[in-house]
């Protein structure tokens, strides 16, 4: 375990990783980059998949409220 997570319980760290994965999926969707949410979900531990889905929907709702992505390209 990384030194950054030393003081946290294993369950918290697992949720943190699932949360980061969900935000990365939505970020890639927003930038129209290839991503398969089902594959990312399958990589999550079984007991955190429901949490991952919740966070994915949360970040998608937030993404809809943001202005359109105006990246160059």
Q: Answer whether residue 73 shows pLDDT above 70.
A: no
What pLDDT does residue 56 have?
A: 98
Mapping DSSP onto H, E and C, the string for 32-68 reads: CCCCCHHHHHHHCCHHHHHHHHHHHHHHHHHHHHCCC
Residue 48 to residues 7, 10, 43, 51, 66, Cα–Cα distance (Å): 20, 12, 10, 5, 27
Q: Write out pLDDT tens, residues 36-65.
A: 999 999 999 999 999 999 999 999 999 999
What pLDDT does residue 22 have?
A: 98
């Amino acid at each position: 375990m990384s030194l950054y997570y030393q003081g946290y319980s294993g369950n918290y760290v697992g949720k943190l990783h699932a949360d980061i994965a969900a935000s990365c999926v939505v970020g890639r969707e927003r930038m129209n980059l290839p991503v398969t949410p089902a594959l990312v979900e399958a990589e999550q531990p079984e007991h955190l998949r429901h949490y991952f889905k919740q966070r994915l929907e949360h970040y998608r709702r937030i993404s809809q409220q943001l202005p359109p992505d105006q990246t160059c390209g």
